[in-house]
Amino acid sequence: MATERGVRRLAAVDAGAAGLGLFVGQKAADAAALAPELVIAEADPAADGQALLALADWCARFSPAVAMDAPDGLFLDITGVDHLWGGEAPIMADLAGRLAQNGIPTRMAIAGSPGAAWALAHFAPAIAAPGDEAALIWPLPVAGLRLLPADAAQIGRLGLRTIGALAALPRDQVGRRFGPEVMRRLDQALGAASEALMFRRPPSPWFARATFAEPISVPEDLARACGDIVRRLCARLEAEARGARRFDLAFHRLDGQAEQLSIGLALPGRDPAAVTRLFLPLLERVDPGFGIEVVTLAAREVETAKQKQQSLSSPISGGGDVEEISPLVDRLANRLGEGAVWRAEAFPSHAPERATKRRPPLSPVTNAGWDLERPRPVRLFRRPESIEVVAPVPDDPPLMFRWRGTAHRVRRAEGPERLGQEWWRRPFDTADPAKVRDYYRVEDEAGARFWLFRAGLYDAANPPKWWLHGLFG
Amino acid sequence: MAVRARLAVLEGAARRSALSFGDARVDGRLPGGGLPLGRWHEAVGEGMEIETAAAASAFVAALTAPLAERGEVVWIMRREDLYAPGLAGLGFPAERLIQVCVRDEAEALGTLEDALGAAGVVAAIGEAESPDLIAGRRLQLACERHGATGFVIRRRLFAGEARQKGSAAATRWRVAPAPSEPALGEPGLGAPRWRVTLERCQGGRPGAWIMEKSDGPLPLRVVAELGDRQLDSPQPFHLAG
């Protein structure tokens, strides 16, 4: 039940309520009067969306290409998949049976185009043989075209009740009278125009699936299943000289939940042992519930990849061989997270915080951008630390400073190196002389070298603040 | 003696090579005439350096710069304050450096071990508080797989007394900054200098030196040898009378 313009109306009814003559859009008070025992729940579109998303993920066991049709529909592209079940009818029966077991009422249809399948599923569930779609959707109501409510109402007012009646009209008249959207939907339903579905994941032909006669749940079995399915998919990749950068493994449980694991590779790979090794530590996260009946594995970002045969104990070579280092990078990135492993690359910016950019460890980087004539510290603090200084002359380096409670007497100093704000990144009028930094490199009596800066220009009224930004070591 | 000789042969076989400092005053104290490669080493800071590990990092970066020409170097840290332009300034090829950020001590040591045992890694540097004997032994085994050289920079994330445990490192270096000496008549700071103390060395003798970053083919230049009585081999006492 949802509240619409101050009136509480039924947003959805189940089969029992429909049997009592209740319908969607009915006022809640009327419905309660008709059926006093009516149980009403507040509509929750967000939760419905979540549930549909979960269902879409679950449907990946039938086909890797699942598109959501909010609020209550799913498209499955079963091209080339149905033979695994022995045809279109068995796959639909299997899907319907499993959904029914989980208490999800369904209407399903199979057709050659998404538009025709939608119309059939909503008004006359059937399996359309190739070429039969037009005949099947001809008698269906115009609402089967997924039209905007205003268009549908307009067509209805003109007495066109069925798709066939609309399709029989001359095309130019339909286009002129109802607009291009109606034409497009009509063509899509009849298969004359193509339609791009937003698949939940890009469809991947690199997909393997293993079904178990008895559900499995023991960790050793999961590991073995993982190894088997990885070997199968990798053998196909090997046969076509391809490698993948991502592998998504899904364990489908008896209760309809799917446990997803994925790993990434820095270089496209297809070594089953390496892929399995990356999955094994993740397996302990899998909660098998009452058991796992289906395992699917999809390879993503598949690229042509030639892999050299290399021995396990190759000695340290001349270096620069990214393939040699990639297993380590994969292990670390999968264990610690992709952002935790990087190579620093020079970035053209004079602001010290922005002078390096993190790049994936296997991409070639150049460090030509750093000016080695300007010394930079080994440790750069993310936040400069406030220090108290004794500086006699405004533009001179300090004679003494106190950092973390310790006084340091400056023995030698170098500077200033004036670094301004990057005014081109913000509106020009927000540039502020107080943002100018004068950096000094100073050495205390013990020889420790620090990178200090004074923020802002000297101003007698507001003494500038001093900061410690890094250590040279 | 025969056993000792055989041990020396075995150890020599296990030891691949050594990284020379190019100065007999240092190389003479190290087994094999230089920093043993295919082993792991410790670098320790002093005072505030226990938390910031700046001098130790700069020293290790300068020391490993020649190694980085031959393969990848992995630097494992818990706090992301390593600044690549600074390493480049020390002559370290920063494009050969893979930086890894880990969450805790155990992960740091595990990652260091993993990196040392990986193909293509010539050196791995880890910032850790105190590897115990078992962790040290594991690091050593990882080093032996491909001959990679390991460094553990002792670092605590929060200031305080660092716990010192015995460890299986081949050498332990204590690194402190030392006042620089710019060339005569030049203003500002000179090349960075460190007071480097070799505290422990398997098969060698401890020593202490002032070293300076050099622009020559070798990354470090020994400026002076420090005569530290505690570190020198004990002198026989001559009792009067």
**For testing the chain B interface, which of A349, A378, A439 should be mutated: the one with the most B CBs within 10 Å?**
A378
The model's confidence at residue A334, banded by pLDDT at 50, 70 and 90, is: confident
Domain end residue (candidates: A135, A159, A190): A190
Query: Is the previous residue joined to A215 through a cis bond, with omega within 30 degrees of 0?
Result: no
Q: A459 and A421 share a domain? A: yes
- Predicted local confidence at residue B8, as pLDDT: 63
User: Using CA atoms, how far apart are residues A407 and A136, in angstroms rounded to an integer?
Assistant: 89
B73 shares contact with chain A (CB less than 8 Å): no
Q: A27 and A62 share a domain? A: no
User: B224 CB contacts (<8 Å, ≥6 apart)?
Assistant: B209, B210
Residues of B in contact with A446 (CB under 8 A): 176-177, 179
SS3 assignment, position A353 = helix
**For testing the chain A interface, which of B72, B149, B174 should be mutated: the one with the most A CBs within 10 Å?**
B72
Residues of B in contact with A316 (CB under 8 A): 70-71, 119-122, 146-148
Answer yes or no: do A316 and B189 touch at CB < 8 A.
Answer: no
Written as six digits, the tokens of B97 are 């450096």
SS3 assignment, position A29 = helix
Edge-first strand listing for the sheet containing A292-304? A207-216, A292-304, A242-253, A258-269
Mean pLDDT of A436-452: 90
- Predicted local confidence at residue A316, as pLDDT: 42
Answer yes or no: do B115 and A328 touch at CB < 8 A.
Answer: yes
The model's confidence at residue A368, banded by pLDDT at 50, 70 and 90, is: low
User: Using CA atoms, how far apart are residues B104 and B106, in angstroms rounded to an integer?
Assistant: 6
Sign of CA dihedral B3, B6, B11, B17: positive
Nearest to B76 by CA among B108, B39, B122: B108
Q: What is the CATH number of the domain that holds A225?
A: 3.30.1490.100
Q: What DSSP assignment string belongs to A243-257?
A: EEEEEEEEEEETTS-
User: Using CA atoms, how far apart are residues A215 and A288, in angstroms rounded to an integer?
Assistant: 9
Please report whether residue A309 resides in a domain. no
Residue of chain B nearest A445, judged by CA positions: B179
Answer yes or no: do A355 and B111 touch at CB < 8 A.
Answer: no
Please report whether residue A319 resides in a domain. no
The beta-carbon neighbor of B54 closest among A318, A332, A471 is: A471
SS3 assignment, position B218 = coil
With beta carbons less than 8 A apart as the criterion, state whether B15 and B38 touch.
yes
- Predicted local confidence at residue B235, as pLDDT: 46
Q: A76 and A174 share a domain? A: yes
B109 shares contact with chain A (CB less than 8 Å): no
Regarding beta strands A437-444 and A449-455, do their DSSP bridges make them parallel or antiparallel, or are they unpaired?
Answer: antiparallel
The model's confidence at residue A178, banded by pLDDT at 50, 70 and 90, is: confident
Residues of A in contact with B219 (CB under 8 A): none
Residue type, A160: L
Instruction: Quote the ipTM score.
Output: 0.85
Q: What DSSP assignment string belongs to B62-129?
A: HHHHHHHTTSEEEEEESS--B-HHHHHHTT--GGGEEEEE-SSHHHHHHHHHHHHTSTTEEEEEEEES
pLDDT in tens, A192-241: 888 888 787 666 678 888 888 888 888 888 999 999 999 999 988 888 88
Q: Which CATH architecture has domain B16-180+189-225?
A: 3-Layer(aba) Sandwich (3.40)
With beta carbons less than 8 A apart as the criterion, state whether A352 and A469 touch.
yes
- Predicted local confidence at residue B54, as pLDDT: 92
Please report whether residue A354 resides in a domain. yes
User: Using CA atoms, how far apart are residues B26 and B226, in angstroms rounded to an integer?
Assistant: 11
Task: Give the domain extent around A6.
Answer: 2-43
Q: What DSSP assignment string belongs to A254-307?
A: TTS-EEEEEEEEEEEE--HHHHHHHHGGGGGG---TT-EEEEEEEEEEEEE---
Answer yes or no: do B187 and A346 touch at CB < 8 A.
Answer: no
Q: A356 and A236 share a domain? A: no
Nearest to A234 by CA among A311, A308, A297: A297
Written as six digits, the tokens of B86 are 């600074």
A157: burial class by Cβ within 10 Å (0-12, 13-18, 19+)?
A: exposed
Domain total in chain A: 5
Average pLDDT, chain A: 83
User: B216 CB contacts (<8 Å, ≥6 apart)?
Assistant: none
With beta carbons less than 8 A apart as the criterion, state whether B145 and B89 touch.
no
Mean pLDDT by 10 residues, chain B (241 residues): 64 66 89 89 87 92 89 91 90 89 91 91 91 90 91 81 70 92 83 91 90 86 75 46 44
**For testing the chain B interface, which of A328, A343, A373 should be mutated: the one with the most B CBs within 10 Å?**
A328
For chain B, positions 188-227, list CB contacts with chain A under 8 A.
188-190, 192-193, 195
Closest Cα of chain A to B36: distance in Å? 16
Sign of CA dihedral A49, A51, A57, A63: negative
Please report whether residue A322 resides in a domain. no
Please report whether residue A196 resides in a domain. no
Answer yes or no: do A355 and B85 touch at CB < 8 A.
Answer: yes
Please report whether residue A220 resides in a domain. yes
Q: A148 and A226 share a domain? A: no
Q: A390 and A408 share a domain? A: yes
SS3 assignment, position A143 = helix
Nearest to A199 by CA among A78, A49, A51, A102: A78
With beta carbons less than 8 A apart as the criterion, state whether B200 and B165 touch.
no
- Predicted local confidence at residue B173, as pLDDT: 93
What share of chain A has pLDDT > 70, as a percent? 91
Window from A352-361, A415-424, B210-219 with minimum mean pLDDT: A415-424
Residues of A in contact with B159 (CB under 8 A): 404
What does each C-alpha distance from B199 to B44, B170, B231 come to in angstroms?
10, 11, 8
Closest Cα of chain B to A301: distance in Å? 24
Nearest to A252 by CA among A300, A306, A212, A200: A212
Written as six digits, the tokens of B31 are 């087994």
Q: A57 and A177 share a domain? A: yes
Residues of B in contact with A470 (CB under 8 A): 83, 86
Nearest to B51 by CA among B193, B205, B157, B165: B157
Residues of A in contact with B113 (CB under 8 A): none
The model's confidence at residue A321, banded by pLDDT at 50, 70 and 90, is: low
Regarding beta strands A341-346 and B97-101, do their DSSP bridges make them parallel or antiparallel, or are they unpaired?
Answer: antiparallel
Residue found by looking up tokens 């004068």 in the block:
A438
**Backbone angle region of A321, left / alpha / beta, with phi > 0 → left and psi within -120 to 50 → alpha:** beta
B93 shares contact with chain A (CB less than 8 Å): yes
The beta-carbon neighbor of A370 closest among B85, B180, B195 is: B85
Q: A214 and A151 share a domain? A: no
Residues of B in contact with A378 (CB under 8 A): 54, 57-58, 61, 82-83, 86-87, 90
| Torsion angle (degrees, nearest 10) of CA A15, A17, A20, A25 | -110
Residue of chain B nearest A374, judged by CA positions: B89
- Predicted local confidence at residue A313, as pLDDT: 45
Window from A6-15, A65-74, A156-165, B157-166 with minimum mean pLDDT: B157-166
Domain end residue (candidates: A283, A304, A325): A304
Please report whether residue A313 resides in a domain. no
Q: A139 and A57 share a domain? A: yes
- What's the N-to-C CA distance of chain B in angstroms? 38
- pTM of the predicted protein model: 0.66
With beta carbons less than 8 A apart as the criterion, state whether B99 and B77 touch.
yes
User: Using CA atoms, how far apart are residues B72 and A319, in angstroms rounded to an integer?
Assistant: 7
Mean pLDDT of A32-39: 81
